[in-house]
Structure 1
């Protein structure tokens, strides 16, 4: 059954038979048409790195080329998460403070791992930038943690890449979530950290989306994407430039959100992550540490519910 449709591919829910037994595993099959080969290959190459494995990154099973009567197709087979993507989840559910802490912390940990140059146990790994982070590219797992998916626009920050290679990778992503320097095409390509800083900006918008649906802030409004009331459904780069660059606009943080100690910290954190100056933004690792401090404080006070 079809469960999702993106820019490059369609995602189906399927059953995969285990080799020897009669057991079936429910999986997601992402099917790319012939003309989206490049996107499939990017995603396959990123998933093929054994050091990418992390609980907050979608689990990859295998990739294959399939010949059908409609021509060649390219398949990616991954774990299946029944709760769907974060945007769908937030549209349908109001979340508690604990949920926000779990979802936000796990998102930051996934991005921190993606960006990191080593694994949790210290093995060297290639840092990767996602470049299209948004709530529809994040899945919600059964335990209400996040995992990152959709690596079709991602970039491995290979130290051998030249500035020209990086420049050719261009302005990609979804306009609504683009950092100011991406909208302006004014990234500092001499410094690979600048790619990570654009991911952190996008992450801040996603954290804002989560917070906007949290019942610890009082009355919860219907789900709206960032800049929801300011731009149309699929805004172009030009209209986002007007909002983000000309007007220095960001999603609104109502004062009622600041009445909750934990949420106040989340709001301070996300505001530091969407700073106009890329150098001033926090790293994903720093955000992950803030969330684990929040969890620690809640444990100490023994009042995880307030």
Structure 2
């Protein structure tokens, strides 16, 4: 699905959002509720969960998820309206990577053990923007707890899911290694790389900033099917273009190298989300240590 949020009625109060699932989407509501119920999921880059409720609307049952509300909307819409500075990019991309790294981690920031989670549908419409121009991950309807006690059969029964545009090559080819829990994280890292490309494409340090478009936007229709994406990503080894002018900026070149390593065709060659988070920390540290109003890669 290109935008899962559009499948549900979304309303809001002054500071909360209510995501309403119809009865036929009960399984998605239940899964998302269970994911959110894990106290160890709490993180600045994960949508704040308040409660889940079953409601009756006439003769119909509805299922509610009540979360924090973010007035800036989702990342896709935000990028279509705004051009980013290098500092904006660092905050947005860094917070996104931090959230994915937390999902994938075996431990919380305080060192408590946690069950890693694979999001399985990372895309710019499943990321919200906080007022601080930071990203928060949302929509965990098809997320998967990577519990070591589960078997390969359990994971196989979870199905091949996600959004075709953002699917990793191994998902498109149905060759995911279900014996290795890292496989699910590697899929997320590929999808995350496409979103990082979207963010980079709207940063003013690259020179002329073109109108926003989704990954592969010029090559496919609005909601491409898996067959089309197989031709581009799997058989053609295609990826979104990284123009040469992006590489003229030192920080952007470092980011583009990271993106390229994250969408590698070989899942095992991809960086982990934790490694990408460390790279963003390095960029920030270099900027801070520069002791200048205009560090080497800040325009």
TM-score tier (shorter) = over 0.9
> Which deviates the most, 6-15 or 87-96?
6-15
Shift of 1:136: 0.3
Following superposition of structure 1 onto structure 2, how do residues 24-63 of structure 1 map, counting pairs within 5 Å? 26-63=15-52
Counterparts of 1:280 and 1:8, CA distance in 2: 35
Matched residue SS, 1:6: helix
Q: String of CA shifts for 1:176-212, please: whole Å, max 9, x gaps.
A: 0000000001001110000000000000000000000
Which ranges of structure 2 fall in alignment gaps of 5 or more residues? none
Q: Which runs of 5+ in 1 are unaligned?
A: 16-25
Which residue is 2:122 aligned to? 133
CA–CA separation in structure 2 for the residues paired with 1:239 and 1:202: 17
Matched, 1:254 2:243: yes
By how many angstroms is 1:7 displaced? 5.6
Matched, 1:171 2:170: no
**Runs (4+) off by over 3 Å:** none
Say whether residues 1:99 and 2:98 are aligned partners: no
Shift, 1:170, TM fit:
2.0
- TM superposition shift of 1:69: 1.1
Counterpart residue number, 1:22: none
Equivalent in the alignment of 1:185: 174
Kindly report the root-mean-square deviation, in angstroms, between the aligned alpha carbons of the 2 structures: 1.1
The one of 280, 286, 301 equivalent to 2:269 is 280
Q: How do residues 173-252 of structure 1 correspond to structure 2 at under 5 angstroms?
A: 173-252=162-241
CA contact (8 A) 1:91 1:223 kept: yes
Q: Work out whether 1:88 is the aligned partner of 2:87.
A: no
Counterpart in the other structure of 1:289? 278
Report the secondary structure of 2:13's partner residue.
Answer: strand
Give how far 1:10 is off: 2.3
Give the corresponding residue for 2:136.
147
Q: Return the alpha-carbon distance in structure 2 between the equivalents of residues 147 and 187 of structure 1.
A: 27
CA distance in 2, matches of 1:49, 1:229: 40
TM-score of the superposition, structure 1-length normalised? 0.94
Partner in structure 2 of residue 19 of structure 1: none
Q: In the aligned structure 2, how far is the partner of 1:27 from the partner of 1:6?
A: 16
Classify the secondary structure of the residue corresponding to 1:78.
strand
In 2 relative to 1, CA 180–7 (structure 1 residues): closer, same or farther, beyond 3 Å? farther
How far did residue 5 of structure 1 move? 6.5
Q: What is the TM-score with the length of structure 2 in the denominator?
A: 0.96
Query: In terms of mean alpha carbon deviation, does 154-163 or 260-269 score higher?
Result: 154-163
| Cα drift, residue 56 of structure 1 | 0.3
Please say if residues 5 and 11 of structure 1, whose CA atoms lie closer than 8 Å, have aligned partners that are also in contact: no
* 1:109 corresponds to 2:98: yes
Report the equivalent of 1:11. 10
1: distance between equivalents of 2:192 and 2:241?
A: 16
Aligned counterparts of 1:251 and 1:107: Cα–Cα separation in 2: 19
SS at the partner of 2:66?
strand
* Corresponding residue pairs, total: 293
Q: Secondary structure of 1:139's match?
A: strand
How far apart, CA to CA, are the structure 2 residues paired with 1:56 and 1:6? 18
Give 1:166 shift.
Answer: 0.8
What's the counterpart of residue 299 of structure 1? 288
In 1, distance between residues paired with 2:5 and 2:47? 16
